[in-house]
Amino acid sequence: MKIIKALAMVGLLGCSLPVLAASTEAAKNPLSVHVLNLQTGVPTAGVAVELEQQQKQGWVKLASGITDKNGRIAELYPAGQSMATGHYKVVFKTGDYFKQQQQPTFFPEIPVIFQVEKSGEHYHIPLLLSQYGYSTYRGN
């Protein structure tokens, strides 16, 4: 309790609350992605990513985004919704990205199909990318 009062007195407690609230909101979103360039070793900004869900009528687009300067989309699932169990597909539009970089690529799109077995969990899909190969896994 003394530490909280001391932090409040110097203004640190009030400064950290908005940051904590923002990170808590991002943590509530059930899906995030991250793209890293294996050739350069840096995050890959500017990759368009689409999220689809398999439904009776086929794949249905739920959301899309573009990776930020850190190669991330922190909140890819539609805001305010929980992720239902089922099959989902994240499609990384790598051909468009490499075209912007004026580089050829063998994989114009990289679809990653995954299964959600428990609603309420967070799913993170990293993509390790090069012009002629890729790797992915369930991250945290």
Annotated binding-site ranges: 34, 72, 137
Catalogue all structural domains in the chain, each as residue range(s) with its CATH number.
29-136 (2.60.40.180)
Q: Is 129 helix (H, G, I), strand (E, B) or coil?
A: strand
- Write out the binding residues for substrate: 34, 72, 137
From first to last of its 140 residues, the chain has per-residue pLDDT tens of 444 444 444 444 444 444 444 444 445 899 999 999 999 999 999 999 999 999 999 999 999 999 999 999 999 999 988 899 999 999 999 999 999 999 999 999 999 999 999 888 999 999 999 999 999 999 98
What is the four-CA torsion angle of 98, 114, 70, 15, rounded to 10 degrees?
A: 160
